Structures are given as C-alpha cells and as structure tokens.
C-alpha cells in the first residue's frame, strides 16, 4: 500500500509541476525578454558615435623567446 501511495504522490507532483511551469514560464520569459530589449535600446542611440581607445604604449616582454626561422623539408 505504501508503494501505491508513493507512486500516486509522484504522479500528482509531476502534473502539478507541469501545470505550474505552463503558467509561470511564459510570464518569466516575457519579463526576461523585456529586460533584454530595454538594455539593448539603452546602450546605443541612433546617430550616436562611440570611440573606444586602446593603450598604444603597452610593453612587450623581450625575454619571451627567440625567433626561429623554419624551412620546409621535402620528403623524397
């Protein structure tokens, strides 16, 4: 009898979770979509130009290694 109650509980839990997901998932998806659209619209306005500068005087470590010139070797 305990196994039957357990199986019934699992089945009821499955259908309850399925129905709750069908109700709340579209609402959550709509909220997420509106937040994403708002963030994209706020980032760039029409006609606005943004210039990003990079550092030109970055130091290059000369002790990384030395250059090796490779030659192709033909197998005959």
Report yes or no on 21 lying in a domain: yes
Report yes or no on 75 lying in a domain: no
For the chain, what is the domain count? 1
Domain that holds residue 28: 1-40
Q: What are the residues whose beta carbons fall under 8 Å from the beta carbon of 44, sequence distance 6 or more?
A: 50
Q: What is the pLDDT of residues 23-66, one digit of tens each?
A: 999 999 999 998 888 877 766 666 777 778 877 766 666 677 77
Report yes or no on 30 lying in a domain: yes
Report yes or no on 20 lying in a domain: yes
pTM above 0.75, yes or no: no
Is 12 in contact with 18 (CB distance < 8 Å)?
no
Both tokens of 11, joined, read: 């089945």
Report yes or no on 23 lying in a domain: yes
Report yes or no on 18 lying in a domain: yes
Angstrom CA distances, 60 to 14, 53, 63, stand at: 60, 19, 9
Report yes or no on 69 lying in a domain: no
């Amino acid at each position: 009898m305990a196994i039957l109650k357990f199986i019934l509980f699992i089945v009821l839990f499955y259908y309850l979770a399925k129905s709750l997901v069908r109700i709340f998932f579209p609402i959550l998806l709509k909220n997420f979509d509106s937040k994403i659209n708002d963030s994209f619209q706020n980032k760039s306005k029409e006609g606005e130009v943004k210039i990003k500068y990079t550092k030109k005087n970055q130091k290059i470590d000369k002790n990384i290694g030395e250059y090796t010139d490779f030659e192709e070797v033909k197998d005959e």
